[in-house]
Amino acid sequence: MNTIGLHAVGLLGPGLDDFETARAILAGTAPLTGDAINIPPVRLLPANERRRTTTTIRLALKVAEEATTDSDRSQLRSVFASSSGDMDIIDRICDALTQPEPVVSPVQFHNSVHNAPAGNWSIATRNPAPATAVSGYNATVAAGLLEAATLQQCEGGEVLLTCYDVPSMETFIRVRPIHHAFAVALRLGPVEGATWRLQMDLKGPATADRCGADELEALRESNPAARALPLLEQLARGTAGHVTLDAPLGRSLSIRIEP
Amino acid sequence: MDPLVITAHTLTSAAGTGIAANAEALRSGTSGLRACDLERVNLDTYVGRVPGVEAIALEGALAPFQCRNNQLAELGLRQDGFVAAVAAAVERHGADRVAVLLGTSTSGIAATEAAYHRRDPQTGALPPDYDYQHTQNMFSLADFVATRLGLSGPAMVVSTACSSSAKVFADARRYIAAGLCDAAVVGGVDSLCGMTLYGFNALQLVAAQPCTPLDRDRTGISIGEAAGFFLLERPSANAQGARLTGYGESSDAHHMSAPHPEGLGAATALQQALDRAGRQGDEIDYVLMHATATPANDRSEARALIHRLGPTPRAVGSKGLTGHTLGAAGAVGVAQALASLAGGFVPATAGLRHPDPELGLDARAETEDRPVRRVLVNAFGFGGNNCSLLLEAPQ
């Protein structure tokens, strides 16, 4: 694929409040301490819409907002990538359906769609550009990167990629052990003026890179969106390098990074 | 844009199993809707339920994927020589050069609904035989189809509610243009489940009688299920047939579950599809509308059509045949457009009794036999997610 530009990054995870303040942790010069995570309300949404958002929507839109600060959001294409979508809602609706007379909340139902963050983002930014929502199970980050890079190469302009997964609720924790929320956003675009240049290739089976620090590696393993961490570590180091991520169907995504 | 050729396809819906049965239902306006008879669903509505789904057994390496959505996918894949056509494409291009890009809105959630009914009464634990990854997870559909067809190209599931299986056609065009693959299996599968039936019911969008798109007296949707698959390749001596010549995608940026009242996002998608194909509105034989049969949806879409195509455009709604198949709706629309191109007819709008004069469309209750060259297919979803595709007859 063509080389594309990476213009900005958004990040939220346990002990990782945003990309700039997490840089030292990602670069390996400061430890990851604590697992507190604060998912703020979506400032860009009007108050009545803000009340109807879910943790999943707030998580995704926090990093989307961070990666698009000081940029034109009004025409930005977007890709929202999540392995599981809104598992909190799935849990509540499936639970409601076990009742003799099931009652499903209309707001929960319309927020249950995989593209709920994408829809809320387009409303929040008054942005008529196309938005999509994809999944690749544990290789969702690579699937999202391929989708976003392909959009940038074929349609031009900037593309916002947002990868996120919320923790599993109690009923699901055994079959899908995701213990912490994690989200990352990458604003991709033309090479000109970009902070980093990425050269991606979809390759055959290869072992995915792991994180340098044990705490980050545990996080990487625990949440599909955190599979992006080796890429973020390389970005934070500020040097040229190479990262391999798992891609769907047992393949791998090779990413060469140049500042 | 450089067109892609649809070298093979198949459709299974309540209107028929395989493309011949669906084409016949489309031509004759024969509905597959029936009173809702789903287990554990007690709603006064009609559904487009595909016969024989429950009897499909997934075996061997496919056994973990057993759930209604993948059973329906399997039933669909068995029709119309689709598996053999994909095998031939693998011979031409290699298994790792054929992408798997599929749409669904709820994947295998029926398996999760069933598992919740069997939770341990003491601990609340899900039953040990429940397999989240291969059933309910969104990617399950693409994983199943890739495994079934022996494909290892780029793969993902697009889940943008009811535009999902239209958007994958645009993705296929981009993936091939970017050099990620040489061919793509696209389409979508969505299957009946309690969540969508009770969810749409909670939004008061479900009709008590079979849905009647574009009708003056329409009251809401009938929910259906379907599996549609298409093999897309660049035109060549080996790859001839009907073509995808344009696509358009947009967001309403208006509301999560209500369309823009003037159909602004829909109009943008439609115009983009025409522009990419280098076509004018008067070159289109008709629009196969999304036409879900809710009062607001059909009104919004009609305004979009008139805005871009001029007064009283020829328009068809097909959900009276199949029900609204949600994430599979785009695939159903494309397969119906292909049947119309191949069969030389503009389909009736099934269920239409009194065309709504307020819509300002040329919608008819009778099928018209005449050559058809170009059909626009619309698919719109929650989140204001819009997609239009332009399908053209073989050159």
Q: What pLDDT, on a 0 to 100 scale, did the predictor assign at position B179?
A: 97
Q: Backbone phi, then psi, for A156, in 5-degree steps?
A: 80, 180
Coil, strand, or helix at residue B162?
helix
Q: Do A109 and B200 touch (CB under 8 A)?
A: yes
Q: Backbone phi, then psi, for B85, in 5-degree steps?
A: -65, -40
Band (pLDDT 50/70/90 cuts) for residue A47 is: confident
Instruction: Look at residues B198, B105, B101 and name the one whose alpha carbon lies nearest to residue A114.
Output: B105
Question: In chain B, what residues touch A132 (CB-CB under 8 Å)?
Answer: 158, 160, 167, 249, 385
Band (pLDDT 50/70/90 cuts) for residue B341 is: very high
What are the residues whose beta carbons fall under 8 Å from the beta carbon of B14, sequence distance 6 or more?
Answer: B32, B33, B34, B47, B48, B49, B50, B224, B225, B226, B321, B322, B323
Work out the mean pLDDT of chain B and round it to a whole number.
Answer: 97
- Residue A24 covered by a domain: yes
B357: Cα within 13 Å, side-chain hemisphere: 0
- Residue A15 covered by a domain: yes
Across the range B125-139, mean pLDDT stands at: 97
Question: Is pLDDT above 90 for B160?
Answer: yes
> Per residue in B75-124, pLDDT tens?
999 999 999 999 999 999 999 999 999 999 999 999 999 999 999 999 99
- H/E segment holding residue B248: strand B243-251
Nearest chain B Cα distance for residue A243, angstroms: 18
What is the number of structural domains in chain A? Answer: 1
Amino acid at A144: G
d(CA B277, CA B336): 20
Residues B78, B11 contacting (CB under 8 angstroms) = no
Strands A182-189 and A196-203, sheet pairing? unpaired
Q: What pLDDT, on a 0 to 100 scale, did the predictor assign at position A190?
A: 98
Q: Enumerate the β-bridge partners of residue A78.
A: A131, A160
Q: Do B383 and A135 touch (CB under 8 A)?
A: no
Domain that holds residue B46: 4-392
Q: CATH number, domain at A27?
A: 3.40.47.10
| Residues A219, A224, A227, A229, CA torsion sign | negative
CB–CB contacts below 8 A, A to B: 220
Which residues of B does the annotation mark as catalytic?
A: 162, 290, 324
Give me the residues of A, 6-35, that contact B with CB < 8 A: none
Q: CATH number, domain at B311?
A: 3.40.47.10
Q: Do B251 and A133 touch (CB under 8 A)?
A: no
- Angle, to 10 degrees, between the axis of helix A87-96 and the axis of helix B194-202? 90
Question: Is pLDDT above 90 for B134?
Answer: yes
Question: In chain B, what residues touch A122 (CB-CB under 8 Å)?
Answer: 251-253, 383-384
| Model-wide pTM > 0.95 | yes
Three-state SS string over B168-234 comes to HHHHHHHHHHCCCCCEEEEEEEECCCHHHHHHHHHCCCECCCCCCCCECCCCCECEECEEEEEEEEC
Q: What pLDDT, on a 0 to 100 scale, did the predictor assign at position A55?
A: 96
Write down the ipTM of this complex: 0.98
Q: Do A113 and B40 touch (CB under 8 A)?
A: no
Domain that holds residue A93: 4-195
What is the number of structural domains in chain B? Answer: 1
Band (pLDDT 50/70/90 cuts) for residue B395 is: confident
Q: What pLDDT, on a 0 to 100 scale, did the predictor assign at position A46?
A: 87
Across the range B296-304, mean pLDDT stands at: 98
> Per residue in B32-44, pLDDT tens?
999 999 999 999 9
- Residue A228 covered by a domain: no
Band (pLDDT 50/70/90 cuts) for residue B47 is: very high
Question: Is pLDDT above 90 for A224?
Answer: yes
d(CA B259, CA B265): 9
Q: Do B202 and A104 touch (CB under 8 A)?
A: yes
Amino acid at A25: I
Across the range B245-262, mean pLDDT stands at: 95
Q: What pLDDT, on a 0 to 100 scale, did the predictor assign at position A49?
A: 84
Question: In chain A, what residues touch B381 (CB-CB under 8 Å)?
Answer: 113, 115
Q: What pLDDT, on a 0 to 100 scale, did the predictor assign at position A234?
A: 98
- A169 touching B (Cβ < 8 Å): no
Q: Do B161 and A114 touch (CB under 8 A)?
A: yes
> Per residue in B7-17, pLDDT tens?
999 999 999 99
Question: Is pLDDT above 90 for B57?
Answer: yes
- Residue A39 covered by a domain: yes
Instruction: Look at residues B261, B209, B235, B253 and name the one whose alpha carbon lies nearest to residue B386.
Output: B253
Band (pLDDT 50/70/90 cuts) for residue A34 is: confident
**Mutating which of B1, B44, B159 best tests the A interface, going by the most A Cβ atoms within 10 A?**
B159
Structure tokens at B65: 């994927």
Work out the mean pLDDT of chain A and round it to a whole number.
Answer: 96
Band (pLDDT 50/70/90 cuts) for residue B62 is: very high
